[in-house]
Amino acid sequence: MFIKQISVFIENRHGRLEEFTTLLGENGIDLIALSIADTTNFGILRAIVADNEKALRLVRDHGYTANLTEVLAVAVPDSPGGLAGVLTMLRDGSISIEYLYSFVRRVGKDAIIIFRVDQPEKAAALLQEKGVRLLSQEEIV
């Protein structure tokens, strides 16, 4: 129901993101989805990768602050109003979104949006009840 995302604290300084992605690349870690939330001083990089545990070990060993977060991978119809439909369901269920970002790949005709919400269990149940497909880790990597 949930998929794992790796979240990494990145200092806002020149070349730091490049260093990070190079580290993943050199260790054969494929970035499947990626989002960065930034502030003046730092950024939080969130990524979906094939081997979360390996990636977490690797980045911590290289001095990054990181953890794994559970998020929902939601299949959203790739048509106008597709995302709005899902957001309406969450709003009606009084679920707040911490953040979301879209996926590079598609599954069939659907776009994939990654959601982090305040009540993940409730959100998952609610969306599934409404016939919205949630993707598993295996399906997306």
Partner 1 sequence: MQQPSPHIWNKHVETMDRASLEALQLERLQETVRRVYQNVPVYRERMQAAGVEPGDIRSLKDLRLLPFTQKTDLRDNYPYGLFAAPQEDIVRVHASSGTTGKPIVAGYTQHDLQVWAEVVARCLGCAHVHKNDTVQVSYGYGLFTGGLGLHGGAERIGAKVVPTSAGNTKRQLMLMQDLGTTAIACTPSYALLMGETMRDTGMDLSKLKLRTGMFGAEPWTEGMRDQIQNLLHITALDIYGLTETMGPGVAMECMEGRYGLHIWEDHFIPEILDPATGEPLPDGEMGELCITTITKEGMPTIRYRTHDLTCIIPEPCPCGRTHRRIRRLHGRTDDMLIIRGVNVFPSQVEASIVGIDGIAPRYLLVVDRVNNLDVLEVQVELAPELLADEVRKIEDLSRRVQRSIEQVLGLSVKLRLMEPGSIERSEGKSKHVVDKRKLYD
Q: Are 62 and 23 in contact, with CB atoms under 8 Å apart?
A: yes
Task: Tell me whether strands 42-49 and 97-107 are parallel, antiparallel or unpaired.
Answer: unpaired
Query: Min. distance of Cβ 20 from partner 1 in angstroms?
Result: 10
Stretch that binds partner 1, among 23-31, 63-71, 78-86, 104-112 (CB under 8 A): 63-71
Q: Is 42 in the site for partner 1 (CB under 8 A)?
A: yes
Q: Is 129 in the site for partner 1 (CB under 8 A)?
A: no
Q: Is 22 in the site for partner 1 (CB under 8 A)?
A: no
| CA angle centred on 121, ends 116 and 122, rounded to 5° | 95
Binding site for partner 1 (CB under 8 A): 5, 7-11, 37, 39, 41-42, 44, 46, 60, 63-67, 69, 98-99, 116
